[in-house]
Amino acid sequence: MTITSTSSTPTPTPFAPLAQLAADLAAGRTTSRALVEAALERISAPSGQGATVFIQSDAAQARAAADAQDQLRAAGTVLSPLAGIPVSVKDLFDVAGEVTRAGSTVLAQNPPATADAQVVARLRRAGAVFVGRTNMSEFAFSGLGLNAHFGHPLSPWQRGVPGQERIAGGSSSGAAASVADGMAAVALASDTGGSIRIPAALCGLTGFKATAARIPLQGGVPLAPSLDSYGAIGVSVACCALMDRLLAGLPPEIPVARPLEGVRLGVLNHYVTDDLEPAVASAIEAALRHLEAAGAIVSEVRFAELERMPEINRFGFSPIEAYAWHRPLLDAHRQQYDPRVLSRILKGEPASAADYLDLLAERRAMQAAAAPLWQRFDVLVAPTVPVIAPRVADFAHDDASFSAFNRANALVLRNPSVFNFLNSCALSVPCHPHGEAPVGLMLASAPFHDDALLAIGRAVEAVLGPVLGSSLSVTPKSTSSINR
């Protein structure tokens, strides 16, 4: 990773892309056990943030799984390109034998899961080695990634600079930090309003939210089932694409990059560009210039219906559906909730059945209004997050109404949540200049155009990586360079 800061603290180094790890395993240049030991060493390093990033890590189990994959490989059996590679799992997914806390103490006394979530089972069958459960916003209900119970995972940006430490973004804060810090090669995460793409953007990583119905939700703690979707955070588009194929139960055939010449990019303006910080605006503008120079047809477009989103989401799916799920827990455990999360859940309490039906109708109307855009453009483009990662210190002395938290939370969620509402697939790729604060460029396509989006995303990444010196190069590097 080439994100730098003014701190003397060593910059975290992520694993090489999955394709390079698989090639190194195939050639005998490394072993699954070696990769897992590297991940575990970083998780347990006193100078690192493993104790905050991971809620649980079972080193003995991970080593045993790695050894099993090495033995299978020696016998000529390779389950998939992910076989033997260390993967982190967000704490809202069931893993057989482990308690699923969803980043909360409320569920800590629940019995261990008796079976894997379906997506976890699919990754296990593919030979993934799970190195631990990652921290997250409590019950996934915040885009900032702060956790009052287990601590706040940090972005690599300005890590160790006193008073300048930055949030990793949420809700999949630990997932992103685990990849950025080389504690896992790729992370399994969820996205209801940006929970994959926000932390990917703020940590200089790549994150992909699949079309929701494409990947089964069974075995995951819900936030808002109408919007919930699963996906991955990794160091490249190809990493996310491989995970997406496996999570969807499809053969691990990664879409080939589509040449950018003639690709129609619709750059959304208004709404998603309101309150854009200068560093974000500059990075996005430069990225678009380079994509246009590579042959993409770049056009600005105003989708005026988006400007009604605050009115439409007066209650919103997440508060209404979260309140319905949490009611029994609130009766018994209200005092255990982080008050910031509790206040967001309780926003759904006064919503009536008529309010919910109105919301469903508004969503259908918005999706219908977006249909011509999907015909006109191959991809819609927006800043993933309109600001650089806020400082953790910005929330340390928030007032009783959580005004600083609520303002920042609403702002980071605003852009990515649009595409959950539209039920589209969406990808965030890093686009910031070398050495500057991480910025994500978000690309979105029509529902179930996931492979087409990933093919374009690979081409976008290939242009932006070398030209802008974005935080993570897509050029594979040998596993021998992994800092132990």
Conformation bin of residue 97: beta by default, left when phi > 0, alpha when psi is -120 to 50: left
Active site residue 171: yes
Cβ pair 124, 116 in contact under 8 A? yes
Angle ∠(103,105,243) on CA atoms, nearest 5: 20
**Closest listed residue to residue 201, CA positions, set 383, 462, 53:** 383
**Closest listed residue to residue 420, CA positions, set 278, 316, 281:** 316
Q: Determine which helix (DSSP H) or strand (DSSP E) holds 55, and give its type and residue range.
A: strand 54-56
Q: Considering just the CA atoms, what is the radius of gyration of the chain in Å?
A: 21
Active site residue 343: no
Cβ pair 13, 483 in contact under 8 A? yes
- SS3 at position 154: strand
DSSP 8-class letter at 107: T
Question: Distance between CA 127 and CA 123 in Å, rounded?
Answer: 7
**Closest listed residue to residue 212, CA positions, set 305, 323, 119:** 119
DSSP string, 329-343: HHHHHGGGS-HHHHH
Q: How many residues does the chain have?
A: 484
DSSP string, 413-435: HHHHHHHHHTT-EEEEEE-PPTT
CA distances for 346 relative to 277, 323, 339, angstroms? 31, 6, 10
**Closest listed residue to residue 86, CA positions, set 67, 62, 103, 116:** 62
Tally DSSP H helices, then E strands, for the chain: 15, 11
Active site residue 226: no
Considering 32, 90, 428, 470, which one is annotated as catalytic? Answer: 90
DSSP string, 130-147: EEEEEP-SGGG--SS---
- SS3 at position 267: strand
Cβ pair 321, 223 in contact under 8 A? yes
φ/ψ of 257, rounded to 5, equals -60, 135
Considering 171, 417, 428, 473, which one is annotated as catalytic? Answer: 171
Question: Distance between CA 117 and CA 138 in Å, rounded?
Answer: 19
Considering 173, 195, 318, 417, which one is annotated as catalytic? Answer: 195
Question: Distance between CA 166 and CA 153 in Å, rounded?
Answer: 9
Q: Determine which helix (DSSP H) or strand (DSSP E) holds 33, and give its type and residue range.
A: helix 32-44
Catalytic residues: 90, 171, 195
